[in-house]
Structure 1
Amino acid sequence: MKSFVKQTAKWVTASTFVGGILFSPGLTISAAETDSPVKGAYNPAVTSPVQLKTPFQSQFMNKHGQDIFGPANPDYKMNVNYDSTNHTIQGEMTVTFKNNTRTQLNELYFNLWGNAETFKENGGSMSVSNVKVNGKTAKYTVDSTAMHISSVQIPDNQKSTVSMDFVVHVPEQQDRFGWNKNTVSLGNWFPILAVYDKEGWNVDAYFPYGESFYSLTGDFDVTLTTDKAQVIATTGTEVGQPGISGNLATHHYKAKQVRDFAIEMDTTYKVKQTKVNNVNINVYYTDEQAKYADSMVEAGVESIKLYSDRFGEYPWPELDIVGMEGWFGGMEYPQLTMISIAGNPSQEWVKYVTAHEIGHQWFYGIIGNNENDEPWLDESFASFAAALYSKELDQLKAEPVGDYHLSYPVSTFAERAAEGGIGAYYGMIYGYGSRTVNDLRLELGDEVFYKAMKDYFNEKKFGVSTTKDFIQIMEKSTGRDLTNFFASHRVFVSDQE
């Protein structure tokens, strides 16, 4: 089979944003304002453009109408050790999956996000060894964040297992992946199976702002050994009690039907716990963050109740809300949200950030999407959810930015950085995008809109959605032709207008 590999990034403006950063409601953005980050949101300084290494060249432009998402049902088993002195991870991993691509697979790809240039600048890296496919040594190459396994033969509809050892050097930086003082943030920290869809293999480069992540739901069984003093939050739930050996503790975690597995650790964390809708909510915070703990608890409880009622039930038994010191608003992972508390933010800001990141449990976690190609499907919807939580829907007044449209891939904003890049991205995806979702609510009325959103949830739960899917489900649920509505709001089912 011909190798179909998609990659879109060439240039990107490195900035102090990540995908979870928030766009405040009540903001009108014009084209003249797109040379800087959004007013009213958390606005750290923007640095000069940097070039990201391009692993592979795109062969396709159409990003929509995808009906193949594989390999299916990845089942990860990991045994990892975190050395808190040297900030390194040594791990062993196997992942079993089914080839559902309707063709024989002669190659596989994994994303190694720890090799992104922004992490390497601060001592980060990821390497692999002892790679095997179905027990046989496999040929592989690593080019920046893309790992290519060649010369395999996996028939359609057959299961296969890949095993490997890996070593990760965690960078010293305040980030979704990094360590800072006592806090260790492990987002996108292990080799993760890339997605094969109608375009082929997706191995987009890492973006310092927005997200380049795209993965399918699967199961995780993770054994973690580290200092026994660490207080640990993770995706999934802990199984049994940790095993203690000297100064080390070994923890065992399991997670079902999640797209990723994140870990947050700090020896000084304290924990507040509560329960709502049969979901255990755990809030982790340091002494410096203690005054915000109740706000995170409150936002967690109310968001779970509200979003479950309006969109569909939260499906997992646990949610961890983790305070951290970072330069970004927050970041989402399955069953875990990172809330950046830097400086002296208001209680309302922390609640809003928490509500936004919890919104991603629905829009990214439950209903998946290609965050690189169609970022509006998670960020615009999470921003709408946060405005719903804060009762600020009537303040979503952002205007479109320049000639961008919502269904552009994130790389389009990056490649046109001189024309607004970061400001345009946040103005369109967070601001104008959330307004578009709200305008659809106003167009349909609450009863019809929220019923349609539940239909969307039920049809795409634990799967992958595209812009085309969303429009089709809205039209089917409402019995209306919404072509003109979406066109007038700059939502298209192709990257080209």
Structure 2
Amino acid sequence: MAVPQSGDPVAPDQARYTVALRSDATGHSWSGTEKISFANSGTVPITEFWTRLWGNGDAGCSATQPERISSLSGGSIAETEQKCTAFRIVLDSALAPGARTEVGFALAIDVPVRADRFGVNGVDSYVGNALAVLAVKDEHGWELPPYVDFGESFYSLTADYDVTLDHPTTLQVPSTGVIAGETPEGDRVVTHITAPKVRDFSWSAGAFHHASMTSATGVTIDAYWPNSESDSNCQSLMSYTASAIDAYSARYGAYPYPRFSIVFDEFGSAFDGMEYPNYVLSSANQGAVAHEVAHQWWFALVGDDQYRHPWLDEAFAEYSAEEFQGGTTPAHNCDWIASDERMDGSMDTYEKAGDYLYHDAIYHEGTCLLFDLEHTLGRDGMDRMLRELFTKFEYGVERPADVRAMAQSVAGRDLSAFWVKWRNTGD
């Protein structure tokens, strides 16, 4: 694990999630238990913490919340915020520095019918960001951003997950992590999954087609797709996924997990893909695959606050994808579309401005910035900067100042004018 840097979040830390859920016959509803164990790596006692239930983002605090927790042990719910996506939990006993505690609760999930990362698309369930996950307390205090419909609000530290999913044998459950065991129980099967050192755990449930291969660097690639997708295209994209894993490993640093799962499906205008640790959703085309796989380095391994600094993972993932696909210059126009447009805005800024400005500032201009930075540093210098960022912040959290400092170190000269040019000076 990377050595903590100045300003890194420290508490709560070293989390372990233990989850046991049983699905209905369709895989659209799940219920069971979740336990969260964590340490106090700070210097003062912890008396409370916040946890996020992102699946309530659209429904809010209505009577039909998609996600519900109850029957707490080790603590009690004191209040909710951000449309019932944030729960403040007061511990039964204060947690001393250096000690650990555990809070458990019943968890119920009803996946809403919609084409979404958390939704039933056709008959298949996509259970993204559904488990309760610890909020982060950093130099800004508790980070409790609202849910956003486009882009991401997510910010979490790496943790260890132990998950059992009890589901019908007719359903596959592609997910984060590796399958530690499968126990048949009549017309059902209990799938045991372990996922060490990941930022979140997500899964799908459906009667998917499935194929598997091993990449040249030894990573098992598991590909899944519904009947609506072409078998030959998805198998070809599975090989493309393996090539991307190997290419990014060579350029940035080795992919450290033994397995990577990808689910191909179409989500209409909702999104083209969604990243999770060891597991992504992707439209069945090479551009989407290249981008989502790149997020394993820029988000899953090198973490960031996706609400406060969306450019840190999206621009890096899109730049990586375009270069992997053979691009040597940006694949789009690098002119700003608005005089007050900035790359360093938060998702709060882009939600008010609109999806079109978000995509231009973060994906388009962000990719242009990184191609220009490569031109400024030279290809060898750019590769060095990216490898050093990966080495320093693997399993950790980077901030804009870290990227600028690393770029300046490699360049050996002041790059202030460069960041001003790209309207990216905020932290």
Whether these two folds match at TM > 0.5 is: yes
**Could you say which residue in structure 1 is the equivalent of 2:341?**
404
| Residues 123-148 of structure 1 deviation map (CA, whole Å, 9 limit, x = unaligned) | 65111112222xxx434333421111
Q: Tell me how far 1:390 sits from its aligned partner.
A: 1.1
- Quick one: which of 371, 387, 392 aligns to 1:459? 392
Q: Is the 8 A contact 2:35 2:103 kept in 1?
A: yes
**Could you say which residue in structure 1 is the equivalent of 2:108?**
167
- Aligned runs of 1:1-400 on 2, under 5 Å? 66-85=7-26, 87-117=28-58, 125-133=66-74, 137-143=75-81, 144-150=84-90, 153-240=94-181, 242-289=182-229, 290-327=231-268, 328-341=271-284, 350-396=285-331, 397-400=333-336
**Could you say which residue in structure 1 is the equivalent of 2:3?**
none
Structure 1 residues 198 and 102, CA, compared in 2 at 3 Å: closer, same or farther? Answer: farther
The CA RMSD over aligned residues, in Å, is 2.1
Q: Is the 8 A contact 1:272 1:293 kept in 2?
A: no
Task: Name the CA distance, whole Å, in 2 between partners of 1:167 and 1:337.
Answer: 23
Task: Name the CA distance, whole Å, in 2 between partners of 1:265 and 1:271.
Answer: 16
Any gaps of 5 or more consecutive residues in structure 1?
A: 1-64, 342-349
| Residues 203-227 of structure 1 deviation map (CA, whole Å, 9 limit, x = unaligned) | 2111000100111101100011011
Task: Name the CA distance, whole Å, in 1 between partners of 2:162 and 2:252.
Answer: 29
Q: Tell me how far 1:412 sits from its aligned partner.
A: 0.9
Task: Name the CA distance, whole Å, in 1 between partners of 2:113 and 2:61.
Answer: 10
Determine helix, strand or coil for the equivalent of 1:117.
Answer: coil
Q: Tell me how far 1:276 sits from its aligned partner.
A: 2.5
**Could you say which residue in structure 2 is the equivalent of 1:433?**
366
Task: Name the CA distance, whole Å, in 1 between partners of 2:343 and 2:10.
Answer: 23
Determine helix, strand or coil for the equivalent of 1:130.
Answer: strand
Q: Tell me how far 1:282 sits from its aligned partner.
A: 1.2
Q: Is the 8 A contact 1:179 1:185 kept in 2?
A: yes
Structure 1 residues 288 and 389, CA, compared in 2 at 3 Å: closer, same or farther? Answer: same
| Residues 182-203 of structure 1 deviation map (CA, whole Å, 9 limit, x = unaligned) | 3111110111111110111112
Any gaps of 5 or more consecutive residues in structure 2?
A: 1-5
Structure 1 residues 126 and 286, CA, compared in 2 at 3 Å: closer, same or farther? Answer: closer
Whichever residue aligns with residue 441 of structure 1, its letter is E
Task: Name the CA distance, whole Å, in 1 between partners of 2:138 and 2:265.
Answer: 35
Task: Name the CA distance, whole Å, in 2 between partners of 1:70 and 1:312.
Answer: 28
Task: Name the CA distance, whole Å, in 1 between partners of 2:399 and 2:337.
Answer: 22
Task: Name the CA distance, whole Å, in 1 between partners of 2:100 and 2:412.
Answer: 40
Structure 1 residues 295 and 395, CA, compared in 2 at 3 Å: closer, same or farther? Answer: farther
| Residues 263-296 of structure 1 deviation map (CA, whole Å, 9 limit, x = unaligned) | 1121142324333301111111233312421332
Task: Name the CA distance, whole Å, in 2 between partners of 1:337 and 1:217.
Answer: 17
How many residue pairs get matched? 415
Whichever residue aligns with residue 270 of structure 1, its letter is H
Whichever residue aligns with residue 418 of structure 2, its letter is F
Structure 1 residues 183 and 86, CA, compared in 2 at 3 Å: closer, same or farther? Answer: closer
Task: Provide the TM-score with structure 1 as the length reference.
Answer: 0.79
Task: Name the CA distance, whole Å, in 2 between partners of 1:120 and 1:274.
Answer: 44
Q: Tell me how far 1:308 sits from its aligned partner.
A: 1.1
| Residues 404-424 of structure 1 deviation map (CA, whole Å, 9 limit, x = unaligned) | 222211111113x3xxx2111
Task: Name the CA distance, whole Å, in 2 between partners of 1:188 and 1:317.
Answer: 22
Task: For CA contacts below 8 A with separation 6 or more, give which structure has more relative contact order.
Answer: 1
Structure 1 residues 86 and 479, CA, compared in 2 at 3 Å: closer, same or farther? Answer: closer
Q: Is the 8 A contact 1:123 1:170 kept in 2?
A: no
Q: Tell me how far 1:69 sits from its aligned partner.
A: 4.0
Q: Tell me how far 1:120 sits from its aligned partner.
A: 8.5
Q: Is the 8 A contact 2:215 2:243 kept in 1?
A: no
Question: Stretches of 4+ moved more than 6 A in 1?
Answer: 119-123
**Could you say which residue in structure 1 is the equivalent of 2:417?**
484
